[in-house]
Structure 1
């Protein structure tokens, strides 16, 4: 491809939780403020506030052998990858260039054969892709185009049949999608419009019935959603408003009870959430404030214990987190600082053993990672993974 590929923005930032000086930026064990704080009105307030700095641009995937790989955009606009030496290891390979000339950040998916496939928007605004030649391989195919003209970075997932699917915003503001014709195939369907008018990147989650549900912010700043009519279907239910007044992308995740729960930043800069009343339901709880003062999109994961954990950047640019008290609970721990100085958005990933690793960009534009010591345990210090991220 070498002359036209990819865009999606980077989540990033930080350095260590111990007292260090990095390129003139001091990072200490004590944060600038004890925790994000904010008002908790009954619903997101109506006064508009500034949105997050940028959307995520670090993406990660597990190889078939359980090693995590991290993908970023370099200063030369190429895609770069770095992979754990062994699964769960704190040692990583050197950065490897996958080439391309991208206009945002890479997104990754995993096909049915467990090969990682990279997608990105090129300088022609089309989506370009390349994949591992075999599972766990450091060898990759050449870049090929999937066509299209997108205004956004792609969102990548797979359906219940393990066919890769790409979503993005078209030049008409609608959501467009394209999928593999068969598992592991290099043949794809034509681009299909799913309609709507969106003002954010799309996000996707399975429901308990294995139907894909897509979410995006509408022109009214409310959250809108539609889902497959049934698993693997090419037909979709009509768009439905889930309400709210959002100033960020939405982050949907399936909770420990099989219900989709969505997180987003409100106009008061606090974190807001609502979830399905029951698995697969079209009915949702009211929006609830989890407080805080956010300067990023939220990132959320399901931990081994079945509890959701959410991460944000605070006004002091440190990483903050809250965790559900129990599986499926409406109660959450207080905000806790994990330190660091984040200069961009957050990518939260699961290791092969369910340990969560958070990836960010530091003040030196390098990649840093912070991992749990064990599943459901506290986190260690930020580890330097190097590179110069764009």
Structure 2
């Protein structure tokens, strides 16, 4: 599946007859599709399709004897002409001995967008081959350089992702069933279009896997990496996030978080690690004990800690409230009622189910991460949490190990968080199968930001920088300002395109990429003088030929900051690893913004700078 520059999807498959077939949407997001059309020849394996820098699609396919060939559009299709006649070039051979499906990356360079192919060959190695000249409508296939051997063959199709500075990284599974990857030390070389691969392979230890996928989350000009892998001999899905990219010269390696167990693969809000709408609240210390109900038939039953058996009343939701500090309610999914305090007794402060009351603070809770004392603040994210009561933040949701008069072990209470009793256990796992449900950390940080912003005397949220690598120019340009079109059939047009942008920032909080929290962004911006804080407005004149698009493409200066957020609330401190990619002032560390006016018969393929 590939997308055309106007948003229409195009589907490519290999049929039972061995032909590559394709069809295309007649309109973006539409349900009407063109007829199926076969491309010449018969092929092995699955085809790979990619959109080049000028919007034309190139398709790669493998013959039974391992010869790798490509065909490319002479021009992009349109809604008016979804399958133009005679629009595909003759098949061009670019290599032999290929044994599986290939991966293709679009390598953006000053000389144009060049395609780079990665695939296994019958010599037992992984190879890459790159265009030395990009394709054009007159010569759709382009010109291809000689291939380069970059490592041992990897199971299945290689996975290729582009770093923020333009370097490619290829991922696979090594002989020891670990996720392994190799990164270019330079994406472009005067002598080798394949780039320089000076650094070796690096393995991500900790989990044995059978397959891997990598996801790059594009946000403006920055890319954050998430690697997903299926466990060896299991259906468990694992995730590992990259906090920061290492230096080209190898002086600083990539920084990765630990593997996260996303639990067995499934579907729906209660499957896998769960969600904010469906999770298990399991005691971190009392093995196998989870938040439950004393009597599932009683409307105001007591909250208990019982062995987890996957019962419906052992599933809970963390629901937002209108509380100015972002406190949440804990709702039993089977009953639709909230965890509340039993007001009929002076103590112990047993908890029970009650009708949810949006004004009742006893039903509201803050989530606090708990890390080991020797935790690496720059990389380690909490997997257990305290649950503090909004009505009295010094008291936490607590499970008891044994009966101690007047306390009943089975019943969950609200007890002082800083208890020194070995019988009191107030750390919990929020998710299924030991994993943390996605969204929990979002709740934690939004609560912290709200409290830091409103109670500055008692609370503080600050970013502690551990590393600040040098600034660099973004490898890929983004579109600044409007995209204009010259409708004149025979006259050139002169347009002035203006654009403005202010501080652009992508944050990574622990394992959460790209989350936006305004107060924390403001606190971060106030700490670093190199940030471009004021709004900057620029204007460029663009000469646009008839019936063409015109736009401005910029590659701004970016800088990364690696460290952690230190959060202090009511005297209690915890940390979350942090990574930031921001627009830097032009000239920071000698890096300058690249600005160029572009025109083409098709709209730009690059994203907008503010997207």
Per the alignment, residue 279 of structure 2 pairs with: none
Query: Which residue of the partner structure matches residue 272 of structure 1?
Result: 238
Deviations 1:25-83 (A, max 9, x none): xxxxxxxxxxxxxxxxxxxxxxxxxxxxxxxxxxx112222211010011101001110
Going from structure 1 to structure 2, the CA distance change for 1:282 and 1:122 (only over 3 Å counts) comes to same
Equivalent-residue separation in structure 1 for 2:94 and 2:157 (angstroms): 19
CA pair 173-82 structure 1, distance change in 2 beyond 3 A: same
Distance 2:124 2:93 in 1: 21
Displacement of 1:226: 0.8
1:116 matches 2:57: yes
Question: How many angstroms does 1:285 deviate by?
Answer: 1.1
C-alpha distance in structure 2 between counterparts of 1:79 and 1:203, whole Å: 22
From 164, 168, 175, the equivalent of 1:208 is: 164
Query: Equivalents in 1 of 2:180, 2:241: separation in Å?
Result: 13
Deviations 1:281-325 (A, max 9, x none): 612111111112379xxxxxxxxxxxxxxxxxxxxxxxxxx9954
How do 1:230-379 residues align onto structure 2 when only pairs under 5 Å count? 230-233=186-189, 234-236=195-197, 237-243=199-205, 244-254=207-217, 256=219, 258-267=223-232, 268-279=234-245, 282-293=254-265, 325=439, 328=508, 330=511
Q: Is the 8 A contact 1:207 1:258 kept in 2?
A: yes
Is there any run of 5+ residues in structure 2 with no aligned partner, and where? 78-82, 136-140, 190-194, 247-252, 268-435, 443-506, 514-611
CA contact 2:8–2:25 (8 Å) conserved in 1: yes
Partner residue of 1:80 out of 6, 21, 29: 21
Query: Quick one: distance in 1 between partners of 2:129 and 2:187?
Result: 16
Q: CA deviation at 1:219?
A: 1.0
Distance change in 2, residues 1:182/1:331 (3 Å): closer
The answer to whether the 8 Å contact 2:22/2:37 transfers is: yes
Gaps of 5+ in 1: 1-59, 296-321, 333-390
Tell me by how many angstroms 1:160 deviates: 2.0
Structure 2 counterpart of 1:183: 134
| Structure number with higher strand proportion | 2
User: In 2, distance between residues paired with 1:252 and 1:174?
Assistant: 24
TM-score normalised over the length of structure 2: 0.38
Matches of 2:68 and 2:147 in 1, distance apart? 11
For residues 92-131 of structure 1, the aligned pairs below 5 Å read: 92-131=33-72
Q: How many residues align?
A: 247
1:119 partner SS = strand
CA contact (8 A) 2:243 2:508 kept: no
Task: Quickly say closer, same or farther: Cα 1:324–1:121, change in 2 above 3 A.
Answer: farther
**Structure 1 position 114, deviation (Å):** 1.3
Work out whether residues 174 and 197 of structure 1, in 8 Å CA contact, stay in contact via their aligned partners in 2.
Answer: yes
Residue aligning to 2:125: 174
Distance 2:59 2:89 in 1: 10
Work out which of the two has the higher radius of gyration on C-alpha atoms and give 1 or 2: 2
- Within the candidate set 106, 116, 136, 1:165 is matched to 116
Output the CA distance in 1 between the equivalents of 2:9 and 2:211: 27
Indicate yes or no: 2:91 matched with 1:143: yes
